[in-house]
Amino acid sequence: MKNVILVTGASAGMGKEFARELLKDGNIVYGAARRVDKMDDIKQLGVKVLEMDVTDEASMAKGIETIVKAEGRIDVLINNAGFGSYGAVEDVSIDDARYQLEVNVFGAARLIQLVLPYMRKHKYGKIINISSIGGKIALPLGAWYHASKFALEALSDALRNEVKQFGIDVIVIEPGGVKSEWGGIAMDNLIKKSSNGVYAPLAKKFADAITNTEAKGADPMVIVELVRKAIYNKKPKTRYSGGYMAAMVLFMRKILSDRMFDKVAMSQIK
C-alpha cells in the first residue's frame, strides 16, 4: 500500500529532494511550504502541493484537513521546515530568537499534534524529525539554532515512548554538511546580526569556515537514503546521521570533555 506522506519545507534543498524521491518510490506525497511557486517543478512530477506556514495555526490545520479529506489518512510526517538564525546571543533580539523556536520546534510540534489522531486511528505512523548534528553539539554564534535542534531531539525522545503503544515510530535524522541553500541563508543572518559589533572578528572567521565547509557538503541524496530507511524499515533506528563530518563530529562529542571539544571546534574557526 502506498504511504501518504507530508513533507514540510518542500520548496528547496533537502525537503524538495525528499518529496521528489519518495514520489518516485510510488508514494502519495504532499509537499508543503510558504513559497508555493518554488514547488512548480515537483508539482509537475505529481507531488501534491500545499501552501503552509508552520508558524500559522490555521495554515497547518487546513493543510492536514486537506490531506485527510483526500486520502483518509496520513502515514508519514517529515518535519523538515526550518532555518538557522545565527548571531551572538548578545546581538540576537528575543523576538528573533522566539521566531527561530517557533519555526524549528513549535511548528513541528503542532503538526505532530494534528497528525497523531489519524495515525492512532490506523495504528500506524512514522514521524520523522529533521534535526542536525547541531542538535548534539553547539558552536558559537548559533545558540538559538542549536537550542531549537536540541529541543527537537528532546521532544522526539519523549514522544517516541508516548506513541510506541499505538504503532507509531518517531525517528530523528541528523544531517552533517549537505549541499543546500541553508548555509548561505544562515551566514547572511549572522553577518546582519554580528558583523559590526564586538563579535565581528569571530563572526567573519566563522562565516568563512562555514562557507568552506559547505563546499564540501554531501549530496542531499545521502539524507534521502536515511529517510527511506526510516520509512521502509519495519523497526527503524531511533536516529540516523549522515553527511559531511557527521560521524566524526558525533564521535568526538561523545568521547571528549566539553573543554576539549571546545578547543577542537574553535581550532577550525580560523
- Cell for 167? 504503532
* Residues belonging to the active site: 11, 131, 145, 149
Give dist(CA 254, CA 252) in Å, integer.
Answer: 5
Cβ atoms within 10 Å, residue 209: 16
Say which residue the cell 528573533 belongs to: 96
Give dist(CA 163, CA 1) in Å, integer.
Answer: 22
Provide the 8-state DSSP code for 9: S
Give dist(CA 203, CA 151) in Å, integer.
Answer: 25
Q: What is the CA radius of gyration of the chain?
A: 18
- Cell for 241? 546521521
Q: Is 156 exposed, middle or buried (0-12, 13-18, 19+ CB in 10 A)?
A: buried
